[in-house]
Amino acid sequence: MDLKGKHIGIIGAVRSGVGAAKLALRSGALPFVTDMNPAEKLRDYLNQLNNHGIAYETGGHSEKIYNSDLVIVSPGVPLNAPVLRELAARQITIISEIEFASWFCKGTILAVTGTNGKTTTTALLHHVISHSDRVCYAAGNIGFAFSEIAAEVPADGYVALEVSSFQLDAITSFRPAVSMILNVTPDHLDRYNNSFAEYINSKHRITMNQTEQDILILNADDPVFKEYPVKTEARQFEFSMTRPVTDGVFLRGSRLVYSSAANEDFSIETSSLKIKGAHNWQNAAAVIIAAKYAGIENDKLAEGLSTFEAVEHRLEPAGVISGIEFVNDSKATNIDSVKVALKSFSNPVILILGGQDKGNNYDELVPLMENVKQIYAIGSSAEKIYSYFIGIIPVEYKKNLAECVTGGIADGKKGDTVLLSPACASFDMFDNYEHRGRVFKEIVREHLPK
């Protein structure tokens, strides 16, 4: 589409929406941003729009959005929102920000999705590609909004792009050279009519425009892909921690082994990785496949894998107070992420749960809670959490993270861990999970010995 002079509506005046607005302006379009939230919640983003002279409105959607030639929707806006239903009724094209940004990207897109592990895998992929002296950006739900950097990527450059199902729901031509689906477990069912199948199909959209020149990387150990096979023209690679694979990466003893057409030409000891645990070996396996596709030399690949540190907000140490360890796992926005976290600790744990519930089934956590001595229930789901765990594990209401930290100091003993692993979205109390994690770390820092 020639965008010069076109009216581009953007729904959502936050990170991706502002990026899309600036990119639309650069392309000669006339962007207009609209957001339901009041201006005071969007101050930093509105300052960016003001600096670029981009028109916007807050506190609701006026008729102006319906004068758009094209509308870009931010991932936080459900596709069944009234404004989007009305736009569809008026036959106005609606696309996601990653779709829009991909129109301007000349480089190679390496796209990562899955219920869990996306951020770590994307960050590791970016680290490995960058370590090999290639130009590589981390974007999407990590690093930059895709729109912020899409036009800057050179033809021989790469984008390690973390994408969510919400972003994939509104793509039309988005085509990554490499796509990976790390796993699919029930999540965001509040957005998918409580249909797991609908959520799975959303994840599968990552490969819908791929051709035989592209590759799709799948988790061979995830039973979802047997029950719901992915239909694609892309060449498929797999990773497995339980059996050998012909094309992909598998665990042999303590080594991750890369195989292409049964020819093994790379392997690495899992003990050389700084990121620990079987879930991180899976993430590394997926990255190895993508890196080999990109032509990364074996020595550079091994160096990149072995020098990568853990990402922020994922089992991140936040500080030690009176011998009590505080850990920031704010990225754990679903039950499966909390399972991974709980498996990482054998010492007594005080667990902070709660936020915006996404249809969680807490039955799945109970078998892993033998060492959980206390639960602090926070946010809009606090009552649900309290009602479920009362009589199973000691549980208390806490108004905010500050009360959780002071409570952990009072209730904890030397050797305990206070773990923020909420199993819920953050939007009831925070801008996003990063904001929640930063607040938690700041509160812990305030209590550290001076």
Identify the residue whose tokens are 């739900």.
Answer: 141
The pLDDT tens digits for 158-190 are 999 999 888 999 999 999 999 999 998 876 566
Residue 1 has pLDDT above 80, yes or no: no
Is CATH 3.90.190.20 what the domain over 316-447 is classified as, yes or no? yes
Q: What is the pTM of this model?
A: 0.78
Contact 217, 178 (CB under 8 A): yes
Contact 350, 373 (CB under 8 A): yes
The pLDDT tens digits for 362-407 are 999 999 999 999 999 999 999 999 999 999 999 999 999 999 999 9
* Per-residue pLDDT, 4: 96
Architecture of the domain whose range is 7-92: 3-Layer(aba) Sandwich (3.40)
In whole angstroms, what is the distance from residue 269 CA to residue 179 CA?
A: 25
* Structure tokens given for 224: 């979802």
Pure H helices in 74-117: 82-89, 97-102
Tally Cβ neighbours within 10 Å of residue 415: 10
CA atoms within 13 A on the CB side of 268: 24
* Structure tokens given for 401: 């993270």
* Per-residue pLDDT, 312: 81
Instruction: Give the chain's count of helices (H) and strands (E).
Output: 15, 20
Residue 295 has what DSSP assignment? T
The CATH 3.40.1190.10 portion of the chain extends over 99-307
In whole angstroms, what is the distance from residue 351 CA to residue 418 CA?
A: 6
The CATH 3.40.50.720 portion of the chain extends over 7-92
In whole angstroms, what is the distance from residue 222 CA to residue 238 CA?
A: 11
Nearby residues of 188 by Cβ (< 8 Å), 6 or more positions away: 165, 166, 199, 358
The pLDDT tens digits for 211-248 are 999 999 999 999 999 999 999 999 999 999 999 999 99
* Structure tokens given for 351: 């667990």
Residue 135 has what DSSP assignment? -
Tally Cβ neighbours within 10 Å of residue 406: 13
Task: Give strand ranges (E) for 221-378.
Answer: 235-240, 248-252, 255-260, 263-269, 316-321, 324-328, 349-354, 372-378
| SS3 state at 68 | coil
* Per-residue pLDDT, 209: 98
pLDDT band at 345 (very low <50, low <70, confident <90, very high): confident
> Could you say which of 3.40.50.720, 3.30.1330.60, 3.40.1190.10, 3.30.465.10 is the CATH number of the domain covering 99-307?
3.40.1190.10
The CATH 3.90.190.20 portion of the chain extends over 316-447
* Per-residue pLDDT, 191: 67
Q: For the chain, give the percent of residues with pLDDT over 70.
A: 98
Handedness of CA 262, 265, 271, 276 (dihedral sign): negative
CA atoms within 13 A on the CB side of 430: 23
